[in-house]
Structures are given as C-alpha cells and as structure tokens.
Amino acid sequence: MTERTVRRLLDATPADPDAEARAWAIVQAAYAAREPVPRRTHMRAVLVLAAVAGAIAAAAFSPPGRAVVHAVRESIGIAGAQPALFRLPSPGRVLVSGPGGAWVVAADGSKRRLGDYRDAAWSPHALYVLASSATTVAALEPNGTVHWTLERPDIRFARWGGSRTDSRVSYLSRGRLHIVGGDGVGDVALGKAAPVAPVWQPGARHVLAYVTVGGRVTVIDGDDHRVRFSAVPRSEPRALAWSPDGRMLVLAARTRIVVYNVETSHSQAFPVAGVSAVAFAPDGTLTLLRRRTVLELRNGVLGTLFTAPDSLAGLAWSPDGRWLLTALPAADQWIFLQRGSGRRVLAVSHLRAQFGGLPVLDGWVPGA
C-alpha cells in the first residue's frame, strides 16, 4: 500500500470527538505546568543589529556594495556630471595634491603627476611648483623637473612669494615658521606658528602673513623679519588670504571673518561662523566656503553664490575670474560655478580614480 493511499484512507476516517477533547486537555495541562524562561529580547536585538551592521560593512567592500556606494554618491552629487575631466571650462592650469600625489591639470584636461607630494603651491607668475612631503620641500617645473630640495622634519604649508627673479619660500617645520630663499639657500627658523597656511603678499615685496600659536595675525618682512603688523588674537584661526592688490588681508576664524587693512591697521569683522576656506576673485570679490555653501562678500554685503547637497572642500578661481572651482567629496565630484547673468553649474565625477585619491585644490593659474 502506497503512502498516498494510506493518507487518503486516514483523511476519510472520521475523528473521535472525545479523543480530540482529551488531547487538548493534556496539551493545556502541560503548558500550565511549564517553567517560564525569561526572554532575552534586548540581547537578541543587539545581536541582530550587530549582524546587520557587519553585513552592511561587508557589502560596502563587495562589488554590489561598491555599486550601492556609487549610487549614493550619484544621488548626492550634481546631476549630469561628466564621467571624467575632459577639459577645464576656462583657460589655465590647475594644481592639486593629496593622497595620490601632486598633479598639474592643463586646460585640455591632460594631467601630469609631479610626484608623491601631499601639498603643493604655485611660485610667483606660476613658473614653478613648490611641493612638499612630510620631510621634503621641492622646487619643480610644471613638467616635473626638480630644481632643488630641502629636507626638514614634519613639513607643512610650503608657500612661495616675491617676484619672478627675487622670491622667498616659507614653510612650517615642527610648528616653527621657516623662511628660505627662492633658490633653497639661507634657511632661517623663526617663531612658533599656528597650523594655518601662511600667505605671501602679492607683488615683488617679500611680505608674509601668518598666525602665531596664540591666534594673532602677524605680518613680517621676509628679509629682515621685522613685524609690520600684529592684530588682536582670534580663537580657532582657520585660513588666511590676501586681496589681489595686496591691500587687504582676510582671516577666517571660528565664529567670524576679519578683514584687515595692514597699512592703516583698521579691521572689520563679520559674524560668519564655520568658514573653512577663503579666496579672492581676480576682481577683488571675497569668496567664503561655509560647509555646503559658497558665499560672496561684496561691498560689505554677504550673499549666497551656491548651495550644495553636502559639504564642500576648497576654492580656486579661474585666472579670468569667470569660474570658481570647488569639490564635493561625498559625491567624488568637482563643481565649476560660473559667474554672471548666465550662471551655470558644471560637475566632473570620479576624481579619486583619476588622481589616486580625492585631490586638494592648490590654485588655478594662467596657461604656460
């Protein structure tokens, strides 16, 4: 007799109502006599959450996970972004540095890697590049040819100022300000400085502005090192910038922007908190980066130039003043903002793949 036949016969046999009642009575009595066991709901929830977190972390490193991360970046970023940097929207060359080294980007989009440097800056008139690693300052041509190097410990913020033929270099080593000739000779160690990039005044004069460890903006002569200007200390200084004509000096601090007239010692403060970068347009308009918003300070009036869907990083003006470049790290994008009545927003994606990591903007200068 097959299993199917037995099952059909059992289904056709009527059940005994008394037997069914006796069975339920036995089950109910056994349930009532059981020993209650405490439920470990909290621990179970914790374990479930941990497992979910682990699964998410593992998925992020799997091919499907990377696709999800890419989709999230696309949803955060600017729509219609180019998949690569094909060309700059305005003439000139852009200098960048970061985890993938220092690079020079030409107007046609071609890129040249200068070496394994984490910081870079243009020389006066953009004839050379000053690049630095943790222990080396190097003067290079934009094609990567090295002219001189200087070895020092814990180097930060190497910057180049002066004229085409008579220049000076500044940098921080173990928190102390150094000034050396543009040929790498005559290194002099000065006082302690805050971790803010010093800036050379535009023009032929060797005038340097930096921030002391006490938060005081100080302007010195780069030759005899005499103090020309010293301001009231500010809390948590973050960035310095000179105006193109060298008359105004701007400090971004934790809760405000301070504009100094170094010649008259007059200053004006604006209550703008959270500014991480400052840059002057060629026409003298001051641009501020505040988390995900780009602001303009024009004639004492602060206005919004652009608001991004996430935090921005860095500012660089094109030499003709028509375009402002910033980065949207969460979307792995560069964003080009056009000024004027026909204002446009252009975006370029996949920066990490093109530069070996997200690059820092070090300046946009005229073409060679």
User: Do 224 and 109 share a structural domain?
Assistant: yes
pLDDT over 60 (residue 70): no
Residue 205 CB neighbours (<10 A): 16
- Structure token pair of residue 364: 């946009």
Q: What percent of the chain has pLDDT over 90?
A: 72
Question: Is residue 78 domain-resident?
Answer: no
- The CATH number covering residue 293 comes to 2.130.10.10
Per-residue pLDDT tens digits for 241-274: 999 999 999 999 999 999 999 989 899 999 999 9
Residue 367: per-residue pLDDT: 85
Tell me the residue range of the domain where 138 lies. 85-365
Mean pLDDT of 135-159: 97
The span from the CA of 17 to the CA of 31, in Å, is 22
User: Do 277 and 236 share a structural domain?
Assistant: yes
Residue 74: per-residue pLDDT: 54
Quick check: helix, strand or coil at residue 124?
A: helix
User: Do 33 and 151 share a structural domain?
Assistant: no
Question: Is residue 154 domain-resident?
Answer: yes
The span from the CA of 361 to the CA of 312, in Å, is 12
Residue 296: per-residue pLDDT: 94
pLDDT over 60 (residue 1): no
User: Do 200 and 53 share a structural domain?
Assistant: no
By the 8 A CB rule, do 347 and 340 touch?
A: no
The DSSP result for 42-86, as a single string, is HHHHHHHHHHHHHHHHHHHTSHHHHHHHHHHHHHHS-TT-BSS--
pLDDT averaged over every residue in the chain: 84
Per-residue pLDDT tens digits for 286-317: 999 999 999 998 888 889 999 999 999 999 99
User: Do 93 and 175 share a structural domain?
Assistant: yes
Question: Is residue 185 domain-resident?
Answer: yes
Residue 244: per-residue pLDDT: 95
Question: Is residue 80 domain-resident?
Answer: no
User: Do 144 and 26 share a structural domain?
Assistant: no
Residue 76: per-residue pLDDT: 75
- How much is the pTM? 0.79
pLDDT over 80 (residue 69): no
Residue 20: per-residue pLDDT: 42
Which of the listed residues 44, 73, 102 is the one where a domain comes to its end? 73
Domains in the chain: how many in total?
2
Residue 170: per-residue pLDDT: 98
Question: Is residue 79 domain-resident?
Answer: no
User: Do 314 and 344 share a structural domain?
Assistant: yes
Per-residue pLDDT tens digits for 73-130: 555 789 899 999 999 999 999 999 999 999 999 999 999 999 999 999 999 999 999 9
User: Do 161 and 36 share a structural domain?
Assistant: no
pLDDT over 80 (residue 220): yes
Which of the listed residues 73, 93, 124 is the one where a domain comes to its end? 73
Residue 5: per-residue pLDDT: 47
The span from the CA of 294 to the CA of 3, in Å, is 78
Q: Which residue has the higher pLDDT, 328 or 47?
A: 328
By the 8 A CB rule, do 155 and 146 touch?
A: no
Per-residue pLDDT tens digits for 170-215: 999 999 999 999 999 999 999 999 999 999 999 988 999 999 999 9
Lowest mean pLDDT among 5-9, 73-77, 80-84, 343-347: 5-9
pLDDT over 70 (residue 336): yes
Which of the listed residues 73, 99, 121 is the one where a domain comes to its end? 73
**Can you give the chain as a three-state secondary structure string?**
CCHHHHHHHHHHCCCCHHHHHHHHHHHHHHHHCCCCCCCCHHHHHHHHHHHHHHHHHHHHCCHHHHHHHHHHHHHHCCCCCECCCCCCCCCCEEEEECCCCEEEECCCCCEEEEECCCEEEECHHHCCEEEECCCEEEEECCCCCEEEEEECCCEEEEEEEECCCCEEEEEEECCEEEEEECCCCCCEEEEEECCCCCEECCCCCCEEEEEECCCCEEEEECCCCCEEEECCCCCCCCEEEECCCCCEEEEECCCCEEEEECCCCEEEEECCCCEEEEEECCCCCEEEEECCEEEEEECCEEEEEEECCCCCEEEEECCCCCEEEEEEHHHCEEEEEECCCCCCEEEEECHHHHHCCCCEEEEEECCC
